[in-house]
Amino acid sequence: MFIKLFFIYVKIGAILLGGGYVILPILTSEFVEKRNLITNEEMLNYFALSQSLPGIIAANISMFIGCKLKGFWGAVAAITGITFVPFWIIILLA
């Protein structure tokens, strides 16, 4: 499940353009509507909490969802997946 979670977030990270506010409909579609892994209310709570924490909103909300689904290692897989593609794009451009 950790590898599957990682690749879900890699796919989301690859299409994530425009910052953290764009991620809400993408994550809602993926985790609430398609996979039914969390509820819409949980998604909105995670998004609101992610906005109040310092750092990247996409990484924060990914951490909360990953932690809910698979604990600490789920959070690690989610953050690694969501930042994987943007990290390598920046490295290649630099």
pLDDT of residue 18: 65
pLDDT per residue, tens digit, the chain (94 aa), is 899 999 999 999 998 866 668 888 999 999 999 999 999 999 999 999 999 999 889 999 999 999 999 999 999 999 999 999 989 998 999 9
Helix crossing, 40-52 with 57-93: angle to 10°?
70
Residues 27/12, Cβ–Cβ less than 8 Å:
yes
d(CA 92, CA 54): 27
d(CA 65, CA 79): 10
